[in-house]
Amino acid sequence: YQGADMNVFELNESSVRSYCRSFPVVFKQARGAELITRDGKHYIDFLAGAGTLNYGHNHPVLKQALLDYIAGDGLAHGLDMYSEAKERFLETFNRLILEPRGMGDYLMQFTGPTGSNAVEAALKLARKVTGRSNVISFTNGFHGCSIGSLAATGNQHHRGAAGISLSDISRMPYANYFGDKADTIGMIDKLLADPSSGIDKPAAVIVEVLQGEGGLNAASAEWMRKLEKLCRKHDMLLIVDDIQAGCGRTGSFFSFEGMGIQPDMITLSKSLSGFGVPFAMVVLRKELDQWQPGEHNGTFRGNNHAFVTAAAALEHFWRDDGFARSVLAKGQRIADGMARIVRRHGPGSLSVKGRGMMLGIRCPDGEIASAICRHAFDNGLVIETSGPHGEVVKCLCPLVISDEQIDQALGILDKAFAAVLS
Ligand code: PMP
């Protein structure tokens, strides 16, 4: 790696297994959409902890809520024990998120603290409730790295290391996989109805409305409605994995809002706590709650610090639609800037992908995309790639980023594309 602090890189590489190849500096502080290194260098954050920091680093309101809670000796962790912090989160999520969206009859199940664990819980519950084990997932989908969630994951890059047989998943073509004319849902319908396809009747379908790791492929409202219909026709549960696209990322709390669908389960994690505190849950239809005690345990489910920051984030950002509107406006600003970059540096070979504030530029290949990210990093922008070949330069910045920071970051990206593609 050129142009980085090699001492730091070597130290990290030799002393711990989990070293960072892309950003070989030591970060010390972070505020909003800005990261600051030990040496005082400032970076704009277009990664935001892989989407865990939608509300920015150390948001003052969330930070104060946590500081007050700790100062008052609020319990940090209580497993399943009922606590005031848990009660407040449940009440707030219900009042500000579920009820206004006509979802007042959904329940919340706290799982282990990772997105993967929420996916495991949803897949397990779908199998238990239906008595079937096969699950449909989609090409280029990403659902986690535990064995069940990995089985549902299409991305070979993530699956590679496992090298093990991961059964009971039928991976089907995602929206637009064959171009926008092909009827993928019709194809799946036909395969499900044909015993010669060898597909066991599935318990559920798990889908991202906008594929985060898979390269920002977006499903249309029409495709999602057809998928829901297919689920009803074949008696399959519809699980929306909103771990990355949820919590405001697309300009609404859930990524599927306004699409006219009602998933049976929704998995949430990443930005749910709003503060980077690990937290995950499944939102499920009441009648699916057939868990018996101990059937999906996990020592760190229901962390009280996460409840505190999550409730504070909901109160601060989701009392009205001002925040959601600002996300759409900023998303448009980023999309416009990206479109200008595409026009300037490769209208034939580059394209803008995604929606809301989950956007990226598709490059001809992964090497080009990585070189662009490295150039951007050297000039003060932390940004990563996604997609099956790492070919999409992806913006996943905090949703609270300012217009000035957006423009600055786009300027850095513009120069990076010019340098790498010239
Ligand atoms: N689902 C989606 C859509 C994700 O983007 C991710 C994480 N990138 C996961 C599941 C897994 O979450 P975690 O890494 O917290 O296990």
- Per-chain mean pLDDT for the chain: 93
pLDDT at 2: 42
Beta carbon of 144 within 6 Å of any ligand 1 atom: yes
**Any atom of ligand 1 within 6 Å of the Cβ of 279:** no
CB of 142 closer than 6 A to ligand 1? yes
**Gap from CA of 69 to ligand 1 centroid (Å):** 28
Calculate mean pLDDT across residues 270-292: 97
pLDDT given at position 3: 44
Distance 311 CA to ligand 1 centre (A): 22
pLDDT of residue 165: 60
Site to substitute for ligand 1 among 247, 270, 277, 301, most atoms within 8 A of C-beta: 270
Q: What is the pLDDT of residue 6?
A: 47
What is the pLDDT at residue 308?
Answer: 98
Q: Tell me which residue has tokens 């984030």.
A: 313
CA of 144 to the centre of ligand 1 (A): 5
For ligand 1, whether the C-beta of 123 sits within 6 Å is no
| Ligand 1: residue whose CA is nearest its atom 12 | 115
- From the alpha carbon of 117, which atom of ligand 1 is closest? 16
Task: Label residue 22 by pLDDT band (50, 70, 90).
Answer: confident
pLDDT of residue 154: 83
Coil, helix or strand at residue 210: strand
Cα separation, 143 vs 54, in Å, equals 19
* 277 CA from centroid of ligand 1 (Å): 15
Of 239, 243, 249, 358, which is best to mutate to test ligand 1, by the most ligand atoms within 8 angstroms of its C-beta?
243
Q: Is the pLDDT of residue 231 over 80?
A: yes
Amino acid at 134: N
Q: Whose CA is nearest to atom 13 of ligand 1?
A: 115
Average of per-residue pLDDT across 140-146: 94
> d(Cα 189, Cα 419) in Å, to the nearest integer?
47
pLDDT at 253 over 70: yes
Give 27 Cα–ligand 1 centroid separation in angstroms: 23
Please report the sign of the dihedral spanned by the C-alpha atoms of residue 282, residue 166, residue 211, residue 128: negative
- Taking Cα atoms as reference points, which of 139, 39, 120, 51 lies closest to residue 291? 120
pLDDT digits (tens, 9 = 90+) for 168-180: 899 999 999 999 8
Q: Which of 190, 226, 234, 191 is nearest to 207 (CA)?
A: 226
Q: Averaged over 325-335, what is the pLDDT?
A: 98
> Residue 266: pLDDT above 90?
yes
Q: What is the pLDDT of residues 349-406, one digit of tens each?
A: 999 999 999 999 999 999 999 999 999 999 999 999 999 999 999 999 999 999 999 9
**Residue for token pair 């009820």:** 99
C-alpha torsion angle, residues 279, 283, 288, 289 (rounded to 10): 40
Nearest atom in ligand 1 to 212's CA: 5
Q: Which atom of ligand 1 is nearest to the CA of 270?
A: 15
Q: What is the DSSP string of 97-151?
A: IIGGGT-TTEEEEE-SSSHHHHHHHHHHHHHHHHS---EEEETT----SSHHHHH
Q: Each residue of 57-110: pLDDT tens digit?
A: 999 999 999 999 999 999 999 888 999 999 999 999 999 999 999 999 999 999
- Under a CB-based contact definition with an 8 Å cutoff, are residues 288 and 264 in contact? yes
Q: In angstroms, what is the span from residue 195 Cα to ligand 1's centroid?
A: 33
pLDDT score recorded for residue 289: 96
d(C-alpha 25, C-alpha 20), whole Å: 9
Beta carbon of 396 within 6 Å of any ligand 1 atom? no
- Whether 15 shows a pLDDT value over 70: the answer reads no
Ligand 1 atom nearest the C-alpha of 50 is 8
Q: Is 384 in the pocket of ligand 1 (CB under 6 A)?
A: no
* pLDDT score for 16: 52
Task: Compute φ and ψ for 160, nearest 5 degrees.
Answer: -45, -55
Q: Is the CB of 213 under 6 A from ligand 1?
A: yes
199 φψ region: left (φ > 0), alpha (ψ -120 to 50), beta (else): beta
Atom nearest to 241 CA in ligand 1: 3
